[in-house]
Amino acid sequence: MTGVEQILKDKGIILNREGMPRHIAIIMDGNGRWATGRGMPRALGHTQGYLTVRTISHAACELGLDALTLYAFSTENWRRPKEEVDALMALIEKAMRDEVPSYHRDNIRLMVSGCLQELPQSLQNTIAEVTRETSKNTGLVVNLAINYGGRREILEAAREAAKHACAGEIEPAEITEEYFSGLLYTRGLPDPDLLIRTAGELRVSNFLLWQIAYSELWVTETLWPDFEPADLIDAIMDYQKRTRKFGKVVQAK
């Protein structure tokens, strides 16, 4: 019996497999607060947060999700102390390399979204290597948002669309939502069905601004290092109780 199956059995619940979200996005908040609340350096909070990433990624795989997008580092996070940023970059690089065997075991493909050319060169090299190594895996896509900003993503896509139009490759009227989505960092992924935020903050923090237009939101007070597969299941259970209207009027059953 897998970990997820045991949790479902212990809770006495049955998930509606037909109503599962295909893509879940998570704003992983609370690493620093988790550490400082225990009298530890903030960097140790990020290390514990990485262990949670590992656990939740494999739980998402067991649940049969198509994609899991994790907000690892925003374009605004460069404002943090250099020591913390350097430690986080090193942790992300090490974690990527360490997880390759488990990604192959669970058929997980790694994807990275963001402005990658501004990252340390060694991290850029690791991203290129690990995404290439896992590119033939056909299961869950774990999409790490690194040096990611939603407004910047949209702006870059708009500039790319304008460049194509100016070059005569496409008429402005042909720039549809589908075409525009294909210019975003997340091209190829379905839009998130569910957006989870940990640590109780009620904002989206410049995350997937285009993609979450109709995502369901679920916020928990739990800090990210304390977030467990049982919490992920709770979020999915709540999601399955909702009626997604997409602007339509839905008749009561």
Selecting among 29, 193, 231, 234, the annotated active-site residue is 29
Give the rounded distance of the alpha carbon of 89 from its chain centre.
17
* Domain spans in the chain, listed from the N-terminal domain onward: 21-151+194-238
pTM for this entry:
0.95
Rg of the chain on CA atoms, in Å = 19
Question: Which among 31, 66, 77, 147 is annotated as catalytic?
Answer: 77
For the question of residue 106 being annotated catalytic, the response is no
Determine whether 77 is an active site residue. yes
Q: Which of 203, 228, 239, 184 is nearest to 24 (CA)?
A: 239
In sequence order, the β-bridge partners of residue 196 are 26, 218
pLDDT of the residue at 253? 45
Strand order in the sheet with 109-113: 109-113, 141-148, 67-74, 23-27, 194-197, 216-219
State the Cα–Cα distance between residues 208 and 51, nearest whole angstrom. 24
Tens-of-pLDDT digits for all 253 residues of the chain?
578 989 998 889 889 988 999 999 999 999 999 999 999 999 999 999 999 999 999 999 999 999 999 999 999 999 999 999 999 999 999 999 999 999 999 999 999 999 999 999 999 999 999 999 999 999 999 999 999 999 999 999 999 999 999 999 999 999 999 999 999 999 999 999 999 999 999 999 999 999 999 999 999 999 999 999 999 999 999 999 998 877 776 665 4
Report, at the CATH architecture level, how domain 21-151+194-238 is classified: 3-Layer(aba) Sandwich (3.40)
